[in-house]
Amino acid sequence: MKTDICVQYVERLNLSGFAASVLFGKLAVLGELRVGRSDAICYKALKFYLLLLDEGTPMTVKTLAIASDHGGVDLKSTIAETLKKRGIEVLDLGTDGSSSVDYPDYAQAVAKAIIDGKAEAGILVCGSGIGMSIAANRYPQIRAALVHDRLSAELCRQHNNANVLCLGARLLGEATALDCVDAFMSTEFEGGRHEGRVAKMSCSI
């Protein structure tokens, strides 16, 4: 439920009980907390509020590479369309149909697009997301995160500076998957104490 996410955001804002109740009160007055019609509006309102508080700037991705195997092809198309509507240039590297293909080939295509500078970030979809994440993480420049909810998608940006999001189309509903994509695209790496840890992941032995 998006309202739960709103609650998480309000908690993250560390507002006083009074301020939180004012915020929720305003949203409720606007009809934005009413279940059914308005969860998305409520969520947008909170995101706007977060931006006003300068709680983080979105990841700047102009071009994103996306690919899937046969297990993720429908979700991949939905995500690609959603991102295009947000003004992001999407490099769709396949697959295009339901014929069985091998996920490492598609993970490699997205990794190469990022390594070659053709895209700043990537999304990989397979049945579970597991094969894609293992394959993509073979490339030292890639930090691929397999996520299952909005919070893990936020954390993979904030703490791990993930540049590839992996999703399991057979495990996630479409709304959850799109929520993960939204979080991935709109959450900034926090840097600081995470900087050195992330750098260590690219070191060879």
Q: Which residue has the CB atom at the shortest distance from ligand RB5?
A: 131
Instruction: Considering the complex, state which of residue 99 and residue 141 has its C-beta at the smaller distance from ligand RB5.
Output: 99
Q: Is 171 in the site for ligand RB5 (CB under 6 A)?
A: no
Cross-strand partners of 123: 66, 165
Torsion, Cα 52 57 62 64, to 10 degrees, reads -120
CA distances from 45 to 40, 41, 178 (A): 9, 6, 18
Contacts 24+ apart (CB under 8 A), 26-34: 33/3, 33/6
Torsion, Cα 81 109 148 74, to 10 degrees, reads 40
Amino acid at residue number 141: Q
Instruction: Considering the complex, state which of residue 130 and residue 151 has its C-beta at the smaller distance from ligand RB5.
Output: 130
Q: Please say if 180 is a catalytic residue.
A: no
Q: Is 127 in the site for ligand RB5 (CB under 6 A)?
A: yes
Q: Of these, 71, 80, 147, 150, which contacts ligand RB5 (CB under 6 A)?
A: 71
Q: Please say if 6 is a catalytic residue.
A: no
Catalytic residue among 6, 42, 126, 166: 126
Chain positions 40 to 69 lying near ligand RB5, rule: CB under 6 A, are 69
Say which residue the tokens 């409720």 belong to.
28
Chain positions 107 to 126 lying near ligand RB5, rule: CB under 6 A, are 126
| Residues annotated as part of the active site | 126, 159
By the criterion CB under 6 A, which residues form the site for ligand RB5? 69, 71, 103, 126-128, 130-131
